[in-house]
Homo-oligomer: A and B are copies of this chain.
Amino acid sequence: MSPSRSNKRPVIQPEPIARIGTAERTRAEILDAAFEFLWSRPFRDMTVNVLMAMIPQGRTAFYKYFDDIHGVMAEMLKRLEAEILEGASAWLSDDGDPVALLYKSLAAEVQIGYRYGPFIKAVSDAAGTNAEVEDEWNWLLDRFDDAVSERIAADQELGLIEAFDPGPVATALNRVDAAMYIRQFGHRPRSRPQPVVDAITRVWISTLYGQRWATSRRSTLVRE
């Protein structure tokens, strides 16, 4: 889609830029500085000092817009969440060949993970240092768990997936994705995405639909 040239920091342009006053602009500047900073440096080095040194305003102006540095990360998480939810859902909602849809969904998700890798890692790190960010982050992951779990249960009903408790398996599979993004795309230079797609799809498809579908990308598990 729009911002995807490979090695440039992706610009997250959120809500349609509606009539910004000075305040909104400054808030956006802070957030933008955070994105810029985290694109090349770890969260642990990001302080209010260093962030506000990147924009014209003095340090204390920061507190007009955020409670603390974790407030910035909470906002960043929200923006990432929007991006993630947008691209992630073919397999979860669409009808059709589940293996093909799953492959497509995972490939799309990995692209998101690749594009925002450093930010995802930053949010994950921030979750370790602040209870609220941790809660938000876990809440997002849990929502994915639930959605995946439901989809598994539905396909179990249809006999497409073996009978087993879908909850923990959904959690496990989702954790693969998150951990791989952080590990492979969390700092630059990032790994190439294709091997990650291959590994993740192999794990998901083998676990859910069986190994024989894991290699070929176009499946015939269900004829449409």
Interfacial chain B residues near A173, Cβ < 8 Å = 176, 203
The distance from the CB of A22 to the nearest CB of chain B, in whole angstroms, is: 35
Overall SS of chain A's interface: helix
Of A26-34, A50-58, A161-169, the one touching chain B: A161-169
Partner of A183, one of B169, B171, B214: B171
Does A202 sit within 8 A of B, measured CB to CB? yes
> Is B183 a contact of A175 with CB atoms below 8 Å?
yes
Interfacial chain B residues near A196, Cβ < 8 Å = 168
Of A3-11, A97-105, A124-132, the one touching chain B: A124-132
Residue of B nearest to A191 (CB): B168
Give the 3 A-B residue pairs with the shortest CB-CB distance, closest first. Answer: A175-B179, A168-B199, A125-B128
A: residues with CB less than 8 A from B are 42-44, 124-126, 128-131, 138, 162, 164-165, 167-169, 171-173, 175-176, 178-180, 183-184, 195-196, 198-200, 202-203, 206-207, 210-211, 214-215
